[in-house]
């Protein structure tokens, strides 16, 4: 059952909201403009808040829905952690879009809300606080995803969720390696609130 839901989660994650929204709305492909990352932040810079909001909502929902299904099937928190990893890997390496996807943060956040609303809310507030204080979307994402495995383990009292979410953290941080380099060099683009 877990394997089937992981496959479904990967396929759900592979539905790249940024590419779909931009194609449907006649906008430029986010993989070819700006940071070339098909995510909400790049769409925000390229096409504005309305389209970025649509992309963000799509990315969150494609993570939340498989996790809710997992809850309905009675999966443990540890199993939901593996489904979360599959959803995010689908977003990063989408089978429908030549395995070139985004960085997985919004989809991870959607999964976190699906696992437990308070867990998702704390992660979202962490992202917002860091982004507001430092004005770096990437730094906010790095901080949020780094605390997630520890927060989930202690908040949910579930040690079996730590390993899949820790694996998720490593994968997301690897996707942010260029951002990390730019942050260290003081060259990372800031976001405006």
Q: Within a 10 A sphere around the Cβ of 67, how many other Cβ atoms?
A: 26
Q: What is the pLDDT of residues 168-182, one digit of tens each?
A: 999 999 999 999 999
Query: Is the pLDDT score of 25 beyond 90?
Result: yes
110 contacts 62 by C-beta, under 8 angstroms: yes
Q: What is the DSSP letter of 1?
A: -
First CA to last CA across the chain, in angstroms?
43
* Calpha distance 76→67 (Å, rounded): 11
Chain segment 119-168, per-residue pLDDT in tens: 999 999 999 999 999 999 999 999 999 999 999 999 999 999 999 999 99
Is residue 52 within 8 A of residue 60, CB to CB? The reply is: no
Q: DSSP H helical segments within 14-104, as ranges?
A: 17-24, 40-47, 49-72, 77-92
* Residue 34, token pair as written in the block: 């700006």
Render pLDDT for 45-84 as a digit per residue (tens, 0 to 9).
889 899 999 999 999 999 999 999 999 999 999 999 999 9
**How much is the pLDDT for 22?**
92
CA distance 161 to 166: 9
Give the residue extent of every domain in the chain.
2-185
Nearest to 111 by CA among 155, 148, 156, 147: 148
Give pLDDT tens digits for 85-125.
Answer: 999 999 999 999 889 889 999 999 999 999 999 999 999 99
Confidence class for position 39, pLDDT limits 50, 70, 90:
confident
* 134/99 Cα distance (integer angstroms): 31
Q: Cβ distance 62 to 15 under 8 Å?
A: yes
pLDDT at position 155 is 95
- The answer to whether residue 34 scores a pLDDT higher than 90 is no
Is 75 strand, coil or helix? coil
Q: Which residue has the higher pLDDT, 84 or 187?
A: 84
C-alpha dist (Å) from residue 178 to 38, 71, 139, 174, 189: 15, 36, 12, 9, 12
What's residue 193's pLDDT? 61
168 contacts: CB under 8 Å, gap ≥ 6: 81, 84, 85, 88, 104, 108, 145, 148, 149
């Amino acid at each position: 059952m877990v394997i089937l839901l992981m496959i479904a989660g990967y396929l759900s994650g592979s539905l790249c909201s940024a590419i779909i929204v931009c194609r449907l709305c006649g906008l430029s492909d986010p993989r070819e403009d700006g940071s070339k990352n098909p995510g909400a932040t790049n769409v925000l810079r390229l096409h504005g808040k309305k389209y970025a909001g649509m992309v963000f909502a799509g990315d969150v929902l494609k993570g939340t829905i498989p996790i809710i299904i997992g809850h309905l099937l009675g999966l443990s928190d540890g199993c939901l952690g593996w489904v979360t990893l599959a959803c995010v890997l689908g977003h990063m390496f989408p089978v429908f879009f030549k395995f070139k996807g985004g960085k997985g943060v919004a989809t991870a956040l959607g999964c976190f809300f699906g696992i437990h609303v308070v867990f998702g809310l704390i992660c979202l507030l962490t992202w917002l606080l860091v982004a507001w204080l430092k004005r770096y979307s990437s730094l906010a994402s790095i901080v949020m995803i780094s605390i997630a495995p520890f927060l989930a383990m202690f908040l949910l009292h579930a040690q079996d969720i730590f390993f899949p979410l820790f694996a998720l953290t490593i994968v997301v941080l690897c996707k942010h390696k260029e951002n990390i380099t730019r942050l260290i060099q003081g060259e990372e683009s800031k976001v405006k609130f």
